[in-house]
Structure formats: C-alpha cells, structure tokens
Amino acid sequence: MYYALITGASKGIGKSIAIELAKRKIPVLLLARSGVLLEQLAAEIRDQYGVKADYLVMDLSEPDTDEKILKWCQANQYTVNILVNNAGYGLTGPFYEYSKKDNASLLQVNIISLVQLCQAFLPMLKTCEKAYILNIASSSAYQSVPMLNLYSSSKSFVLHFTRSLSHELKGSSVSVTAVSPGPTDTDFPNRANMNEKTKKTASKFHASPQSVAAIAVNAMFAGKREVITGFINKFQAFMVWLLPKTFVERIAAGIYK
C-alpha cells in the first residue's frame, strides 16, 4: 500500500490537499504542529472517504525532522509514493525587525525542511513504479517583495529548486511539480502578522483552499513541472516579467507596509 505524506496538513491548503487525495482513495499521512487538528482530520478522512489516515505531530522549524519522519514511516511500514511539501509561512515587515530565531525558523520550515524531506524520501520514492513530489511555492516567488522579504525569497528558492530537481529526475519514476498559489482563504495573513489594510486588500483576490488543492493535485498527477493557480496570478507573473523591477517592488512594498 502506498501513502501520500503531507506537511502542514492541519488546515488551509495542506488540509484541502489531504482531503482531495482521500477523495481519490489515496491513504494519507498527515504532519503538522497541532495534534488536535490532525486527529480530527484523520478521523474525518477515515469516516467520510474510507481510506487509511494516520498523523504525526511535528514542528518543522526544529532540526533533523526529516530523519524523525522517515523513521516513523519505516517503523510503521508506510511506503510513501507522494510527498507533498506544503508547510510554510511568512512574516510581514522589515526582516531586521524580527529576531534571528524568527528568521531562522522561517527559513528552516520554508526551505531546509523541504529540501531535507525530498532528500530523505527520494530513495523510497524511486522504488515505486510511479511517484510524485509536490512542492507548494507562491505567486510571490516570481518577484522580490519588500516587507515580505524572506517569504518571497524562500518561495523563489522552492520554485527554482523544484524545477531543477524535476530536470535531474527526468526519466526516473519520480515526477516533481511546483504549484504557486496567490492569495488564498487561509490563516496565512494572521500567521504573517499582516495589518488589517493588507488583509483587506488580499481578501479581494482570495481563492478557496479547495480550488487550489484540486489544481495542485491535478497538476501533480499530470506531471507538470510548474503551475500558477488562477488567471490573475498568471497575469501578475507576466507583468512582473514585463515591468521594471524597481517599479514592481515599490508597489509590493506599498501593499505590505
């Protein structure tokens, strides 16, 4: 039996991806910091969709979590053929106003844990007849975003890492996909400490996490390397490429101030 492993699965896009996979009768392994939310989601998936669901409480801001997760899977004889790196968050405001620990934790979750999980699980994924890695990037990956500096930079890394990894694994059994959502109706603005003006602006363009999850899972199974969700986000990425970078950065800084 093969399983899908999803990080950041307790709510938002991660939760919706877990449900989307469960609808397709794929057993799921759920990871996040909240044991209560994970337990509720696992029970909901088992009851409503009739597939196996287990969970592991894990804080990806801590070091060496990839080893702990892999050992948990091996101890329970869970063979993973779908790895979904969804966990991530942002911090709004000048990066130097946050502590060194705050910034390091963000980079640990958004970049280092993602890379380490890919490396830890690739040997297992390669043993499967068909396997998938789905990395959740962001529409902000296509530009620098002052006042959301480390988040946009980290998601740019995720995007380019995913594209490079996809190329390196071409011809293997492992397909690698980056999905870049725009503003989505999740708890991201609160976690990122956004002000009310920024939250209100972003809410005008919100997609539902369910719609983003459906696009992401479809893109993954289609073997696409890179997908931006929604016409507005695709148009934004095109305009960022077209317009002078300083102009785009000035607009972005005004949104997140």
Domain ranges of the chain: 2-256
Q: CATH class for domain 2-256?
A: alpha beta
- Specify the pLDDT at position 186: 85
**Distance from CA of residue 245 to its chain's centroid?**
26
The ranges of the chain with pLDDT < 50 are none
- Specify the pLDDT at position 144: 87
Q: What does the alpha-carbon distance between residue 172 and residue 19 come to, in Å, rounded to a whole number?
A: 28
pTM, 2 dp? 0.91
The yes-or-no answer on residue 151 being catalytic is yes
Q: Which residue has the tokens 């991806």?
A: 17
- Specify the pLDDT at position 113: 98
Catalytic position from the list 3, 49, 78, 151: 151
pLDDT tens by residue, 138-175: 999 998 899 999 999 999 999 999 999 999 999 999 99
Give the DSSP letter string of 182-215: -SBSSSHHHHTT--HHHHHHHHTTPBPHHHHHHH
- Specify the pLDDT at position 106: 98
pLDDT tens by residue, 108-148: 999 999 999 999 999 999 999 999 999 999 999 998 899 99
- Specify the pLDDT at position 252: 59
What are the distances in angstroms from CA 157 to CA 2, 31, 36, 109, 167?
A: 29, 22, 32, 13, 15
CB 173 within 8 A of CB 131: yes
Which residue from 55, 128, 115, 62 is spatially nearest to 85, judged by alpha carbons? 115
